[in-house]
Structure 1
Amino acid sequence: MQPIERNRILYSFLTLVVILLGLASRHYFGEFPFVRTYVGDGLWALMVFFGFSLVFNRWSVRSVAIAALLFSFGIELSQLYHTPWIDRLRSTRLGGLVLGFSFLWSDLLSYSIGIAVGVLLEIRLISIRLKTK
């Protein structure tokens, strides 16, 4: 698929909506193990995908997806690293939301699914946008 120029307002909105959905999933549905374990991580990766789409708005869908996947996997792998300074950072609310706490293989699957959802949504948005031109 060829590079496109994404609408920055739309991707800002999508990123914000996914952030709010992720926070709401933890707040309102956090007592459900499936939601706590998988949905939040998938939404986190979807937010990364939309955020990368916003920042790198001329990259191809494939490039954004690969970058978002590498970033998400990198954050997860960083959870294997524990020193006092990074654990203090993780103990803050924002640090915990961004960096997480402990490595889980299931998170890698959740990230992959979240980014795949982003790719499918973007392809759908692109096809709708191209049909209206």
Structure 2
Amino acid sequence: MPGIQRNRLIYNALAIVVLLLGLASRRFFGEIPFVRTYVGDVLWALMVFFGFALIFNHWPTRTVVLAALLFSFGIEVSQLYHAPWIDSIRATRLGGLVLGFSFVWSDLLCYSLGIAVGFLVETVLIPTRFWRADRT
């Protein structure tokens, strides 16, 4: 079965737009409990999906989904570990955004939803003319 070739410009743009939406959601709507609790995590996982699809642009869609889930869940589980060196990274703005602070079960659902949105965007919304071959 032939591989796929994602358009790097499209996935780069998608990742940047989602990153900006995530930052904007915290800055402008961070006072709203639902946005603060859930929206940022969904957007974070969506950005992870697009990032994996960008970097590994020949991987089948299901492999990107699995890698993004494993990465996202791994980051969440890592929040159970607290040592001075990693907590000092988390204390920075970038470190906190990437690594988070504490394990929350609902984040796993948010990550799954964000990656599912990425899957739908890739398989339904992005025109097939941007693919060289099969979209597995």
The TM-score, its normalising length taken from structure 1, stands at 0.94
Counterparts of residues 18-97 of structure 1 (less than 5 Å)? 18-97=18-97
Deviation at 1:124, TM superposition (A): 1.4
Relative contact order higher in (CA < 8 Å, ≥ 6 apart): 2
Deviations 1:15-74 (A, max 9, x none): 000000000000000011111111000000000000000000001110000000000000
Q: Distance in 1 between matches of 2:2 and 2:103?
A: 35
Q: Distance in 2 between matches of 1:42 and 1:97?
A: 13
Q: Distance in 2 between matches of 1:111 and 1:3?
A: 26
Deviation at 1:4, TM superposition (A): 1.4
List alignment gaps of at least 5 residues for structure 1.
Answer: none
Give the letter aligned to residue 129 of structure 1: T
- Residue number in structure 2 paired with 1:103: 103
Higher helix share: 1
List alignment gaps of at least 5 residues for structure 2.
Answer: none
Q: Distance in 1 between matches of 2:3 and 2:20?
A: 28
Root-mean-square deviation (Å): 1.9
- Residue number in structure 1 paired with 2:123: 123
- Residue number in structure 2 paired with 1:9: 9
Query: Does the C-alpha gap of structure 1 residues 106 and 2 become closer, same or farther in structure 2, counting only changes over 3 Å?
Result: farther
Deviation at 1:2, TM superposition (A): 6.6
CA contact (8 A) 1:80 1:103 kept: yes
Of all paired residues, the percent bearing the same amino acid is 70
Runs of 4+ in 1 over 4 A off after TM superposition: none
Give the letter aligned to residue 67 of structure 2: A
